[in-house]
Every structure is written in C-alpha cells, then in structure tokens.
Amino acid sequence: MGLMAVAFFTLAGCTHTGHIALMSNGALEGRRLTGIPPGPTVEGHACGFHQNLSAAFNNALANTPYDTVINAEITHTTGIFVWSNCVSLKGQGVRSTDLPKGGD
C-alpha cells in the first residue's frame, strides 16, 4: 500500500513541451533574424509557487553575456503539490548585438 502511495504522488502530474523561436531582452530593431551565429545552449527553470516563463528566461541568461534565446524548448511540468510545478527553458544563447543589421 505504501508503494502505491509513493507511485501515485511521484507519477501524478502532467508535462507539456512547446517551442518558441525567439525570446529577447535585447534591442532587435533593424536586426535580421536570418543567418544567426551559433551560440551555446543555455538552460533555466522556475519552480514552486510563482513559476513563470519570464523567470525561467532570466535564469537561463543570468551570468552570461547573452540577451536573446533562439529555438527555445519550453517544458511545463505540474505535480500533485504546488511546489513541484516547474517551467524549464532550453535554447541557444545569442547576443543581439551579434545579429546582422538589415541593410548589411
């Protein structure tokens, strides 16, 4: 009976994965979004009572020189308890200043 309770509390929940092409805090005005230079993978998450995508985004870019994430995979996980809810982000970090300008 105890094993069933552990399995229920561990497995009860839902996970959804989605994709976002571009998220940025940088100045993208006049920048082309084609031919984006490759960057490293950045990851961030926000869990608990106040989880949201913007917190996961800021967590992913914290202590990096990047201000933009492209090809982001967003995973939202819910559990039976509120503190087990999470939003995770994984994508390619890019500096908006490294993106080519429209006329170049």
**Per-residue pLDDT reduced to its tens digit, 38-60:** 789 999 999 988 889 999 999 99
13 or 7, higher pLDDT: 13
Nearest partner of 42 among 66, 19, 75, 18, judged by Cα? 66
In the chain, where are the structural domains located? 13-98
User: Phi and psi at residue 49, in whole multiples of 5°?
Assistant: -70, -30
Edge-to-edge strand ranges of the sheet holding 41-47: 13-24, 68-79, 86-94, 41-47
pLDDT, mean of residues 3-22:
75
Cβ-count burial 37-49 (b if 16+ within 10 Å, e if not):
eebeebebbbbee
pLDDT digits (tens, 9 = 90+) for 57-99: 999 999 999 999 999 999 999 888 877 899 999 999 999 988 8
Structure tokens at 50: 């106040």
